[in-house]
Amino acid sequence: MGARPLRRRSRPTPASALAALAALAGALACGPEDEGRAGAAAAAAATEAGATATTSATPPTSAPAAPSPSPGGDPDDASAPSDAGPPHDAGASPCPADMALVAGRYCPVVAQPCARQNPVPGHHCLAYGPSSCAVKERVPLRFCMDRYEWPNRKGELPLTLVSWPEARALCEAVGKRLCTEREFNFACEGEAMRPFVYGFERSDAVCNSDRPYRPRTFAFKAHDACMAEPACRSAFEAIDQRLPAGSRPGCVSGDGVYDLNGNANEWVMREGERAPRRSGLKGGWWGPVRNRCRPMTMAHLEGDFGYEAGFRCCRDAD
């Protein structure tokens, strides 16, 4: 990300019982890839494979102008929902027309056992067994989320090469905010705690993900500056594999939110953290990387930006 390749920064998870349990469950495994270094996808797969095995059954720049049921649930979990989807208001939506209401009970820590590992060493889990909630109490959540990645318009390419502060400013300019980590988790996985927005088995046909890695060979500038410079723009177009928002009709949550896995990495707010580590990247992108709901890349600081890093906005429901 940014004008120079990034080195990975390793930082322990905050010392709390919940975070420790999450680490054991593998639920908050850091996304493996370093988007700023060529050849990182291969090392990324090896890193994430190790995280999956844990639960195996066997400075900012100026912002651009604002513009089938799946298995899940633990039968022994008393907090598990009695129905497959979150409750919705029967009347008028408490969200703007370009946003979806997401509501229900969120599990902060999940266990997602790998049921079928890729036979190629170091590659991602291909299918997961039913998820279980690793804590007794679920957290009620109710919020609005953009249906598409910014600029939140179906058929348009998501904005990338944007930093976390730029993303936050763009959301605030339209009366919204960046989504939090747990909001992204819940919107993507639902009460069934699906590993992928579309279910429990990995597929490159549903979302724009797992496409061949193209090595980065250029020190990119932030979006507007890059698009204004022919060399930067050409280098970006050579590795860009985004698709217009909503292009994959099956890559949608039960609440009508598209592209939560793949397409563009999405900046989120890490609650409880201080600057410059309030930033996280979730959902994966078009490359052969994590592309699941729970994992989050925490190595990139707030001022970083990358060719695959975008965002969407959230807001409190009325």
Residue 7, CB-side half-sphere exposure with 13 Å CA sphere: 3
DSSP state of 137: -
Q: Determine the pLDDT at residue 122.
A: 73
All domains of the chain in start order, with CATH: 18-75+96-316 (3.90.1580)
Identify the pLDDT of residue 93: 81
Residue 200, φ and ψ in degrees, nearest 5 = -115, -5
> Distance between CA atoms of 236 and 230, rounded to whole angstroms?
10
**Can you give the pLDDT at residue 120?**
83
Tokens of 205: 């046909």
114, β-bridge pairs: 128
Q: Residue 115: how many CA atoms within 13 Å on its side-chain side?
A: 11
Contact predicate 312/148, CB 8 Å: yes
Per-residue pLDDT of the chain (318 residues; tens, 9 = 90+): 444 333 333 333 333 334 333 333 333 333 333 333 333 333 333 333 333 333 333 333 334 445 433 333 333 333 333 333 344 444 678 999 999 999 999 999 999 999 999 888 777 899 999 999 999 999 999 999 999 999 999 999 999 999 999 999 999 999 999 999 999 999 999 999 999 999 999 999 999 999 999 999 999 999 999 999 999 999 999 999 999 999 999 999 999 999 999 999 999 999 999 999 999 999 999 999 989 999 999 999 999 999 999 999 999 999
C-alpha count within 13 angstroms, C-beta hemisphere, residue 23: 10
Confidence at residue 121, expressed as pLDDT on a 0 to 100 scale? 78
Beta bridge partners of 145: 100, 314
E-only strand ranges, the chain: 99-106, 110-111, 114-117, 125-128, 132-133, 139-146, 177-178, 265-269, 279-282, 296-297, 309-310, 313-316
Q: Hey, what amino acid is at 78? A: A
Report how far residue 208's alpha carbon sits from residue 247's, in angstroms, rounded to the nearest whole number: 9
Q: Output the pLDDT for position 67.
A: 46
